[in-house]
Structures are given as structure tokens and as C-alpha cells.
């Protein structure tokens, strides 16, 4: 049974300031928690319905009712289990043989979550976010990753400093005036792809670092592409065999 203190603590983690204060975040749902249990993240506690516990006999969990789960969940339709997880220090993988994604001021949680999922699909290990990107521990971001969060390193930093210090072969940028990505020869080895804000694009202060400008040719009349959709198209071209 869950105590009032536990309930208040879990509910507080819906807010970024308390996730920072307690260095913890929440993972919800059967698929997400299954992915969590296979990762190297430290699980502080698990709260689950009887059905979930019966199907996970080796996992230490606190049994709660569906009504209690509804009271602490961020989901419209809570799904059997919720875990409180300790954050870990994000690090950049040393693997330079594949592309690194650099995200500038991505604000929509669904976009960031989908980009992380896309990165996982294409084997991209590292995503570097500007400090004003939406927080990766945001519940909507985590749900949109569909578990890919646990396999992709997502770090936040000052991008100007990062791009100045990082020695790479190419820094590609997704821009309206770039070269056609379908005909451009692309290199994933020790290279980066910068994707900008949903409405404003890449910040002016980052443009000098970009030495390869790319665009997805427009055929119809749409004003722009969703940031996550554009990232997926670009990644598909980078990893085309």
C-alpha cells in the first residue's frame, strides 16, 4: 500500500523543479518499465497493480490499486505500473563512427521524444541539446521515446562552446537554403547534424559552425516540416546504404 508521503512525492515529480531537487523522475507503463529494468538506471521504487506484480515475480514492487495508480499517473490511461528512477550523469559516447544529433531550442516534448526514438532506430548514440531545449525527463518526452530514452545519451550544454571544442569532420545544418539532401554525399563518420527550433530554425549564433548546409526539397505548398519529421528524413539519407 502506498503512503500519503509517497503519493505526494510522486505527484511532485510531475514538475521539473522537483525532478531537479530530488534528482529523480518517473517512468510509467508496462513497456517503458520493462525497458527500464533492462537498463543501467537505478530504480528507487516501483508501484504496480496486482496483475503486473504477478507477471513480474522477480521484481520488488509495492502493490497499489488501479484507483491509486490513477491518482499518481501523468497518463490519460494509466498502465499497470509506475517507477521512480534516479537520474544518472549524462555522458557522450566515445563512438565517433556514427552521426551525432545536435538539437537547438527544440520546445515540443513530442518532437524531442520522437527524435530520440528516431536516433535509436538509426543507431545514433548521442544527442546534444541546447540548454533551452525541453527537458528530457518531461513525462511527455519520455512517453514519446517509447523506451528509446534508455539507449540514447541525451545531454544538455552550451552549443557554442560544445561546437567550438569538438573536433569533427563535418557539421551539417538543416536549413532552407541548403543543398539537396537527396543528391548530397553525406558522411556519418565523426560528423554532426544540427536541427533547429520548430518555428525559428537554427539560431544565428550557431550558423558560423555549420560547414555543410542541407535542405529537404519542397514539392508541395507546406510552409515547413515538423522538426521530428525532418530529422527522420535526414537520418534516413545519412544512413542510406
Give per-residue pLDDT as tens, 6-61: 999 999 999 999 999 999 999 999 999 999 999 999 999 999 999 999 999 999 99
Whether 121 and 156 share a structural domain = yes
Q: Which domain holds residue 165?
A: 100-238
Question: What is the average pLDDT across 167-174?
Answer: 92
Q: Is residue 95 part of a domain?
A: no
Whether 121 and 47 share a structural domain = no
Sign of CA dihedral 133, 117, 49, 43: negative
Grid coordinates representing 100 are 551525432
The answer to whether residues 172 and 193 touch, using CB atoms and an 8 Å cutoff, is: yes
CATH number at residue 207: 3.40.1280.10
Q: What is the pLDDT of residue 199?
A: 86
Whether 13 and 40 share a structural domain = yes
Question: What is the average pLDDT across 137-157?
Answer: 95
Has residue 227 got a pLDDT over 70? yes
Domain boundary among 86, 115, 150: 86
Has residue 178 got a pLDDT over 80? yes
Q: Is residue 93 part of a domain?
A: no
CATH number at residue 48: 3.30.1330.30
Q: Is residue 193 part of a domain?
A: yes
Whether 77 and 126 share a structural domain = no
Q: Is residue 94 part of a domain?
A: no
Q: What is the pLDDT of residue 54?
A: 95
Q: What is the pLDDT of residue 166?
A: 84
0.95 surpassed by pTM: no
The span from the CA of 190 to the CA of 70, in Å, is 46
Q: What is the CA radius of gyration of the chain?
A: 20
Q: What is the pLDDT of residue 92?
A: 80
Whether 126 and 16 share a structural domain = no
List the helix and strand counts (H, then E) for the chain. Answer: 9, 10
The answer to whether residues 231 and 137 touch, using CB atoms and an 8 Å cutoff, is: no
In the structure, what pLDDT confidence band is assigned to residue 96 with cuts at 50, 70 and 90? low
The answer to whether residues 196 and 101 touch, using CB atoms and an 8 Å cutoff, is: no
% of the chain beyond a pLDDT of 90: 84
Whether 23 and 105 share a structural domain = no
Question: What is the average pLDDT across 150-158?
Answer: 95
Whether 135 and 104 share a structural domain = yes
Whether 110 and 32 share a structural domain = no
Domains of the chain: total: 2
Grid coordinates representing 231 are 530529422
The span from the CA of 58 to the CA of 56, in Å, is 6
Amino acid at each position: 500500500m502506498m503512503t500519503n508521503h509517497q503519493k505526494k512525492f510522486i505527484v511532485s515529480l510531475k514538475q521539473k523543479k522537483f525532478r531537479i531537487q530530488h534528482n529523480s523522475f518517473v517512468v510509467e507503463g508496462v513497456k517503458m518499465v520493462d525497458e527500464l529494468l533492462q537498463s543501467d538506471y537505478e530504480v528507487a521504487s516501483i508501484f504496480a497493480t496486482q496483475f503486473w506484480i504477478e507477471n513480474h515475480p522477480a521484481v520488488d514492487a509495492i502493490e497499489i490499486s488501479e484507483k491509486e495508480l490513477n491518482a499518481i499517473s501523468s497518463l490519460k490511461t494509466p498502465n499497470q505500473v509506475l517507477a521512480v528512477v534516479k537520474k544518472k550523469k549524462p555522458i557522450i559516447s566515445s563512438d565517433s563512427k556514427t552521426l551525432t544529433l545536435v538539437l537547438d531550442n527544440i520546445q515540443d516534448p513530442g518532437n524531442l521524444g520522437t527524435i530520440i526514438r528516431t536516433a535509436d532506430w538509426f543507431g545514433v548514440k548521442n544527442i546534444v541539446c541546447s540548454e533551452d531545449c525541453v527537458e528530457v525527463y518531461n513525462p511527455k518526452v519520455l512517453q514519446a521515446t517509447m523506451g528509446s530514452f534508455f539507449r540514447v545519451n541525451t545531454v544538455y550544454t552550451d552549443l557554442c562552446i560544445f561546437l567550438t571544442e569538438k573536433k569533427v569532420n563535418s557539421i551539417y545544418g538543416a536549413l532552407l537554403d541548403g543543398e539537396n539532401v537527396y543528391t548530397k554525399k553525406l558522411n556519418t563518420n565523426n560528423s554532426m547534424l544540427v536541427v533547429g527550433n520548430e518555428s525559428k530554425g537554427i539560431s544565428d549564433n550557431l550558423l558560423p559552425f555549420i560547414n555543410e548546409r542541407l535542405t529537404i526539397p519542397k514539392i508541395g505548398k507546406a510552409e515547413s516540416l515538423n522538426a521530428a519529421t525532418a530529422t527522420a528524413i535526414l537520418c534516413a539519407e545519412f544512413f542510406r546504404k
